[in-house]
Amino acid sequence: MNKSRKKIDLLKEMEKYSHSIEIGRFKLIAINSELEREVQREQFYHELAHILRHAGRQIMMPKAFRELQEWDANNFTRYAALPLHMLREFNLNDDNIIDQLSEEFKVTKGLCEYRLERIYANLINIRK
Ligand SMILES: [Zn+2]
């Protein structure tokens, strides 16, 4: 396979996955537009976390460090997508709270559920 063919294959592969690239002052976030809008939004926050908070190329780093960055980016996504000060506007005990949050913040129900679980867990820890 020639070099230009390999480059085209690589670009086609990259199109499938959302990713961020940082080269000096040049920063880029690419999102797969074929995904559901809610998933695109979450992946944008994930990639934004990498741009704002992480340095280095993951492909060059040890697995444990890469996993730590992924954990951090996923955690950042939850806080950025559903900021606590905005959640205070909602009745978190409402039976339809997950649907409401998903609709209002345009993120998946799964992300809303996880965020609320973490808030409840923190409240329990505060009360102990
Ligand atoms: Zn990532």
pLDDT tens-place string over residues 53-64: 998 777 788 899
Burial string for 46-65 (b: 16+ CB within 10 Å, else e) reads bbbbbeeebeeeeeeeeeee
CA of 112 to the centre of ligand 1 (A): 19
Average pLDDT, the chain: 90
pLDDT bin (cut points 50, 70, 90) of residue 9 is confident
26: three-class secondary structure by DSSP: strand
> Residue 35 C-alpha to ligand 1 middle, in angstroms?
16
CA of 69 to the centre of ligand 1 (A): 7
Select from 73, 93, 87 the least CA-distant residue to 115. 87
Cα distance between residue 44 and residue 80, in whole Å: 10
Asked if pLDDT for residue 50 goes beyond 80, the answer is yes
Instruction: Say if CB 47 and CB 22 are below 8 A apart.
Output: no
1 pLDDT more than 70:
no
Q: Pick 2 or 121 by higher pLDDT.
A: 121
